[in-house]
Amino acid sequence: MTRLKLDKITQYIAAQRPGYSLAQAFYKDVDVYQAEIEQIFLKHWLYAGHASQIPLAGDYFTFDFDSESVIIVRTISGDVKAHMNVCRHRGSKICLEPSGSQKSLTCPYHAWNYNLDGQLISARNMPDDFDRSQNGLHKVNVALLHGLIFVCLSKEPPSLSALQNELDEVFDLFGFNNMKLAEKKSYRIPANWKLAVENYQECYHCAPSHPEFAQIHAMAKPPKVFQMAKSNFAQANQGQPKFKQLNRYFDLAAAGQEGYQYDRNPLLRNALSGSVGGKRAAPLLGSIQEYDGGASELMIGPLSYFLIYDDHMLGYRFLPNSVDECICDVSWYVNESAVQGKDYQLEQLTWLWDVTTQADKKIIMNNQKGVDSRYYQPGRLSEMEHFQQSFLTWYLKTLDQQT
């Protein structure tokens, strides 16, 4: 990026008022978007999926954002590895389907063939001095967090050691290793990715915009009411591992460590789960013995979000396609022993967060339309948007490192 473009971004950052939404340029300027890709999406761990999606050798799925595509594959040795979905010959995508099973990875253009570890094993009619060992697929850092698959495209990714140490008990309790993907839905949103993330970060809009959510989650209540309910809930369950409270997120993470946050919040009106009527939706997760009427919020890095009920878990991620379009992927996970149609009904399991995300899609689209207006000006954030403010503070500091 040229000095002129970097200076422009520096001026945007310097002009941003604390406590206010972002200026228009942060949502529309292509140079800002490219800086975001470099500083955020290429340097942090991104939630790609779960090990249950690739149980057998040769099983794969792709993970895509912006112009990048990553192959997540189970190797012959049983390891999970990640490679850039870019042939080393002339750059064609290798895996054209979003998931499947292959004995090896063959480019559909000129038939260069790679083994599941990414090593080039066949390249037709190449010169005698061609070295196959130097032309394997570009490797991508991959990490398994109790079954959750994360990738990082940086050569020096942030460490996950602190997260693993502090959350190991939580991962075990909910049986992350023993979950399976029940359903995944993708919502294409014609808006800048930050508008989607900011919307997820705050519940100021929950009561007026999500009546279904507001009937189940105490978080939709006014701050004083919610904090009282949360305090009573935590006291009643004091000492249980589900009620850890960890905030190492955004600027609070130790140097060199990936940020994370974990907390547990109460549900309303004797609700047990995030499903139709707040009723039981699936068999209990992990070693959970009974419902406590709560749900856990887990955030790993700045872009990966998980909501954990006692009987199922959701994974949320927002990935950019371009400066003015993003994808919201929602995944529902259940106990690996659960049988669809017998132990859980998919429609009941997915109802709350499908209807909520459909509503959010409309909200975010309309937000982008307003931000596009020549009359848009940043507005003052409310006390219910404090976590959004934390995100924006981190975002501006991170973007400033580019300059």
- pLDDT tens, 330-383? 999 999 999 999 999 999 999 999 999 999 999 999 999 999 999 999 999 999
**51-60, 82-91, 108-117, 245-254: which range is least confident on average?**
245-254
Categorize the per-residue pLDDT at 240 as very low, low, confident or very high, splitting at 50, 70 and 90.
confident
Cβ proximity of 397 and 36 under 8 Å: no
Place 403 in a pLDDT band, splitting at 50, 70 and 90: low
Question: What's the rounded Cα separation, in Å, for the pair 65 and 395?
Answer: 19
Say if CB 16 and CB 22 are below 8 A apart: yes
Neighbours of 262 (CB within 10 A): 23
Tokens of 304: 């990966």
Short-list 244, 238, 42, CA closest to 152? 42
Which pLDDT score, from 0 to 100, does residue 237 have? 85
| Ordered domains of the chain (ranges, CATH) | 46-145 (2.102.10.10), 159-400 (3.90.380.10)
240-249, 275-284, 298-307, 372-381: least confidently modelled range: 240-249
- Which has more pLDDT, 236 or 282? 282
Residue 402 confidence (pLDDT): 66
Arithmetic mean of pLDDT, 61-82: 98
Look at residue 252 in the predicted model and tell me its pLDDT. Answer: 83
Q: How confident is the model at residue 318 (pLDDT cuts 50, 70, 90)?
A: very high
pLDDT value for 241: 80
Residue 137: strand, helix, or coil: coil
* pLDDT reading at 216 higher than 70: yes
The answer to pTM > 0.75 is yes
State the residue for tokens 């253009």.
109
Give the model's pLDDT for residue 269: 82
Average pLDDT of span 106-135:
97
Q: Pick the closest to residue 323 from 211, 193, 220 (CA basis).
A: 193
User: What whole-number percentage of the chain has pLDDT above 90?
Assistant: 90
Q: For residue 135, give Cα distances in angstroms to 91, 113, 131, 138.
A: 12, 11, 7, 8
> In which order are the strands placed within the sheet that holds 246-248?
179-189, 325-335, 313-322, 304-308, 294-300, 260-266, 246-248
Q: How many CA atoms lie within 13 A of 268 on its CB side?
A: 15
92 Cβ contact list (under 8 Å, min separation 6) = 86, 107, 108, 109, 110
Higher-pLDDT residue of 25 and 244 is 25
DSSP helix/strand/coil, 347: helix
Alpha helices in 176-291 (DSSP H): 193-201, 206-209, 211-214, 223-236
